[in-house]
Structure 1
Amino acid sequence: MAAAAALLKEPLPPLMCPPKRVPTPTPERLCCGRGVAPGTLEGWALRCCHGNGRGLAEPGGSRSLPGSAMAGSERCRRARATWEVSESEPEAEPGPHGPSAAPEGSPPAAAAVRPKRRRTAGEAKTRRRERQRRKEQEALEKREAAAAWRLLRPERCLRLLEVCVDPGFLEDPGSDIWIEALSSLDCKHSFKPQAIPCSITWRRNMPSIPSAPDDCMVKTEEEKEVLVLLEPADFLKRLYSLTQTFVDASSGSQPDLNQVLPLASLEGSSTKTYSLAVVGLDAYRCNQEQNGWQALSPAKQSPRSQPGPELFMTQQEILEAQVVLQLWGNIDVQLLDTWQEFGEHVSALTKAIARRPYKSQLEMQELSFCTAGVSGKGLRVEKDGTGLWQVWKRQIQQFNRVSPATAAAIAEAYPSPGLLVQAYEECSTEDERLLLLSNIPVKSDTSGKDHRVGPDLSRRVYLFMVSTNPDLILDLTV
């Protein structure tokens, strides 16, 4: 008993726990009686997590599960098996389990694609209708744009313009002459009272639906141009009043343009562009000089017959006053001799106003002179190369002060830009390159005298062909 008591008092040696077994994943393992496919346990340190306290058992081996483990296996058959990942190994995405798992070394299976929900017949029909509606809308917009463009073309644009003439023009003796010239145009004209007496305005009647101009509403737009007709005597008085403001005003002050054209009381005058027309000014001044007012003695002259100071204005003073109107007020003055010239001026102004939208659309295009543009005035080049020579000639003609005959002479000597560049490369000196085209003869059809291209054009063409500076100004380069 004493020996036994002594043994009990001695400290017990520490218990040595066997190390956990990390099984190799090659054969199939059993966890709580469930199978794990080989190849799915690689890199995992595994132990059963269902409370049986044991690791994996190899099937078919000498080791068997005790009763408690079997009981745990029975419980785990009814519960989902979970595995704990060792912190010493990187976590990886577990593969599929069970007999259908992929064998070891096989590529990973693709992610499952969620099947698309098939559209119903109603949804498909709605989508087709929406797609058809968009196509019809795009086609309609294209037709409207093409119809609007056709209305703006030079041969049809005058039909949209209406010339509004003040009834005061009918009092002039030569009104029938210029109204007849206006009637020859393919445009409408009407007599309506204007804000300024004896003035002409323009307005454009644009249909709201260009493809059907006769069956739709018309949108009227007022143009900004206003042409005012002044009598010679009235014009001279206004100019004289304007020149007096130069004398009285201090240096640097703006002249009072209301002396010529009172616009302060007019609504929307700031958005308008005014121009003046005077018919028969020179004849009026000559007539006043022939009356011999200055030769009459003061005793024979009545106060009414005294000539005004405006009659003594020189031609230089009249021109200076016109320059002031142009620079300060953007008012152009046309001095015309006959009513026929006035009618031609009104016709030219009407055509320019009618064609302005068409030219604005052309300027918005990058290359309006190409055949791809809407103008259709470009030169067409066929697939076999027909037309390239005409294009090369047109390019040369785009230089300043180059006639069609001169461009044709250069194009005949060097039928392509490549041949011209090759000729430049064969020249030995810079002066020879600059004067390469100067001695090419040019046949003139109008004057009948032959001349040569000349050194100036030869220099400009050479600089254009070889220069790499996009900002080079050919006319100013020496």
Structure 2
Amino acid sequence: MAGSERRGPGPAARRAAAWVVSESEPESEPEPCGPGAAAAAGSPPAAGPAGSPPAAGPGGRPRRRKAPGEAAARRRERRKEQEVLEKRRRREAAAAWRLLRPERCLRLMEVCVDPGLLKDPGSDAWVTVLSSLDCKYSFEPQAIPCSITWRRNMPSPLSAPDGPAVKTEEEKEVLVLVEPEDFLKRLFSLTQSFVNAPSASQPDLNQVLPLAGLEGSSTKTYSLAVVGLDAYRRCSREQGRRQAPSPGKQSPSSQPGPELAMTQEEILEALVVLQLWGNIEVVFLDTWQEFGQHVSALTKAIAKRPYKRQLESQELPFCAAGAWASGVRVEKDGTGLWQVWKRQIQQFNRVSPATAAAIAEAYPSPSLLLQAYEECSTEDEKRLLLSDIPVKSDVSGKDRRVGPDLSRRIYLFMVSTDPDLVLDLSA
């Protein structure tokens, strides 16, 4: 058009020219901006068409695409592994618990006897008693002559197949047999040591049992056994009287030792010193048969100790801690207290669940029962307060009563302050 001015490129043309990139310049992505830029920058790239390789990650490596059920499968595998480990742990604990049962724990024990105990002619009697036990025994030299020690041979757990087949544990008990003559001499030396020493000093217990040179003696529990002490003292005194020389011909060798002059009170005082200062117990036995019975009882007690310790560590089944082990759960609002009270009544001997429920229904709490006792005027009325409560029996269908015996026992249990009182006279 003539006379018209020449116009520059329009807005669309200018926008298009702004995106023209030279072939010599590196291509760079425009930096995003705006409120949705951060979300857009952190979002993964969209998946390509089917069959195309996965989009590359920030480091140029292809991103692994997770299957929809892969996370759930991994959780199931971990849960199965945990269940397998828990079952194995329970199986090992059950196997160890079965070994500690009283009927089986004695088979794990081994009695180690010093050969010096076989020198006496009467030792066959106690060896016969020892052989009757359901346990092993061996004769091998001990650190203390004429002593007996115990070992526990525990099989290795199931989770350690490469370890030793049997794990041996040394018990802390040591039984030492002392001859009557030697025991009296040692006891006399002990009495002289703490009589002549200052009152504040500790007596020398090595006079009775030399333990200073023994390794690990502080972790052991020692006990002494003396067989035939009374018979030895009686025979020694009679022999001393028969061999007593005339006044003009005294022989020092024929005179009895000073240890035989110890009275029974002095011997008891020395035994108290041994018990208090050295924790050493002394057992006096008359025959070798009694010595064998003592070794047998001590072996059984040592064998059952882990079982009793395991029982003591368990919680009481009647505590209101939960619903496991026949317990009762008590809620914060008091729900379950009636069940606990009924279980407590059921702990008495010869009390059925129906009898306990009848008493708990008549007096729903211990405080209500104590109030009923306070309202009674005489002791006989208190003892017979629960005797006429009817009890419904599901077996016979006939109603019966609680009875005066159980009523008396519950009354004494509720009001007595004597911890040694025997409630059940027929037990």
TM normalised by structure 1 equals 0.60
Shift of 1:290: 3.2
Aligned pairs (5 A) from 1:443-458: 453=409, 457-458=413-414
* Cα distance change, pair 157–429 in 1 and its aligned pair in 2 (3 A): closer
Shift of 1:288: 2.8
What secondary structure is seen at the aligned counterpart in 2 of 1:241?
helix
Aligned pairs (5 A) from 1:272-287: 272-287=220-235
Matched, 1:306 2:263: no
Matched, 1:250 2:198: yes
Shift of 1:130: 7.9
* Cα distance change, pair 78–474 in 1 and its aligned pair in 2 (3 A): farther
**Larger Rg over CA atoms:** 1
Shift of 1:343: 1.3
> Which residue in the other structure is 1:362 paired with?
311
Please say which of residues 430-439 and 118-127 is displaced more in the overlay. 118-127
Q: Decide whether the 8 Å contact of 2:112 with 2:137 is kept in 1.
A: yes
Shift of 1:175: 1.2
* Letter in structure 2 aligned against 1:345: H
**Partners of 2:217 and 2:419 in 1: CA distance:** 42
What secondary structure is seen at the aligned counterpart in 2 of 1:193?
coil
> Which residue in the other structure is 1:352 paired with?
301
What secondary structure is seen at the aligned counterpart in 1 of 2:138?
strand
Given candidates 347, 356, 360, the residue that maps to 1:395 is 347
Matched, 1:266 2:182: no
**Partners of 1:293 and 1:191 in 2: CA distance:** 41
1:383-434, Cα deviation, whole Å (9 max, x unpaired): xxxx9999545635xxxxxxx47xx59x958854564455853776884489
Q: Decide whether the 8 Å contact of 1:437 with 1:453 is kept in 2.
A: no
Given candidates 340, 347, 350, the residue that maps to 2:289 is 340
Please say which of residues 150-159 and 112-121 is displaced more in the overlay. 112-121
Q: Decide whether the 8 Å contact of 2:130 with 2:296 is kept in 1.
A: yes
Shift of 1:305: 1.8
Given candidates 260, 278, 283, the residue that maps to 1:329 is 278
Q: Decide whether the 8 Å contact of 2:345 with 2:356 is kept in 1.
A: no
Shift of 1:223: 1.2
> Which residue in the other structure is 1:173 paired with?
121
* Cα distance change, pair 207–81 in 1 and its aligned pair in 2 (3 A): closer
**Partners of 1:208 and 1:182 in 2: CA distance:** 27
Q: Decide whether the 8 Å contact of 2:240 with 2:255 is kept in 1.
A: no
Shift of 1:220: 1.6
> Which residue in the other structure is 1:439 paired with?
383
Alignment gaps of 5+ in structure 1: 1-64, 85-91, 97-107, 373-377, 382-386, 397-403, 443-449, 462-472
Matched, 1:93 2:29: no
* Cα distance change, pair 73–160 in 1 and its aligned pair in 2 (3 A): same
Structure with greater proportional helix content: 2
> Which residue in the other structure is 2:50 paired with?
none
TM normalised by structure 2 equals 0.66
Q: Decide whether the 8 Å contact of 1:239 with 1:318 is kept in 2.
A: yes
**Partners of 2:173 and 2:30 in 1: CA distance:** 92
Alignment gaps of 5+ in structure 2: 1-6, 22-28, 48-63, 329-338, 387-404, 421-427
Please say which of residues 216-225 and 156-165 is displaced more in the overlay. 216-225
Shift of 1:198: 0.9
Aligned pairs (5 A) from 1:174-253: 174-209=122-157, 217-253=165-201
Shift of 1:228: 0.3
> Which residue in the other structure is 2:424 paired with?
none
Q: Decide whether the 8 Å contact of 2:363 with 2:369 is kept in 1.
A: no
* Letter in structure 1 aligned against 2:224: L
Q: Decide whether the 8 Å contact of 1:437 with 1:458 is kept in 2.
A: no
**Partners of 1:183 and 1:367 in 2: CA distance:** 38
* Letter in structure 2 aligned against 1:198: C
Q: Decide whether the 8 Å contact of 1:438 with 1:457 is kept in 2.
A: no
1:165-214, Cα deviation, whole Å (9 max, x unpaired): 1111112232111111111110011111111111101111122246999x
Q: Decide whether the 8 Å contact of 1:362 with 1:368 is kept in 2.
A: no
* Letter in structure 2 aligned against 1:395: Q
* Cα distance change, pair 220–390 in 1 and its aligned pair in 2 (3 A): farther
Please say which of residues 199-208 and 428-437 is displaced more in the overlay. 428-437
1:120-179, Cα deviation, whole Å (9 max, x unpaired): 999999999887666555444433332222111111111111101111111223211111
**Partners of 1:72 and 1:202 in 2: CA distance:** 103
Q: Decide whether the 8 Å contact of 1:379 with 1:391 is kept in 2.
A: no
Matched, 1:72 2:21: no
Percent of residue pairs identical? 57
Matched, 1:425 2:368: yes
**Partners of 2:233 and 2:385 in 1: CA distance:** 52
> Which residue in the other structure is 2:93 paired with?
145
Count of equivalent residues: 354
Shift of 1:238: 0.9
Shift of 1:456: 5.6
Q: Decide whether the 8 Å contact of 1:226 with 1:274 is kept in 2.
A: yes
Q: Decide whether the 8 Å contact of 2:113 with 2:140 is kept in 1.
A: yes
1:422-469, Cα deviation, whole Å (9 max, x unpaired): 585377688448969952499xxxxxxx895497644149xxxxxxxx
**Partners of 1:81 and 1:235 in 2: CA distance:** 104
**Partners of 2:385 and 2:251 in 1: CA distance:** 72
* Cα distance change, pair 131–394 in 1 and its aligned pair in 2 (3 A): closer
Shift of 1:331: 0.7
**Partners of 2:365 and 2:79 in 1: CA distance:** 56
**Partners of 2:410 and 2:69 in 1: CA distance:** 78
* Cα distance change, pair 426–119 in 1 and its aligned pair in 2 (3 A): closer
1:61-117, Cα deviation, whole Å (9 max, x unpaired): xxxx99664543444576999999xxxxxxx83599xxxxxxxxxxx99x9688972
* Cα distance change, pair 301–347 in 1 and its aligned pair in 2 (3 A): farther
**Partners of 1:175 and 1:220 in 2: CA distance:** 28
Q: Decide whether the 8 Å contact of 1:147 with 1:211 is kept in 2.
A: no
> Which residue in the other structure is 2:415 paired with?
459
* Cα distance change, pair 432–125 in 1 and its aligned pair in 2 (3 A): closer
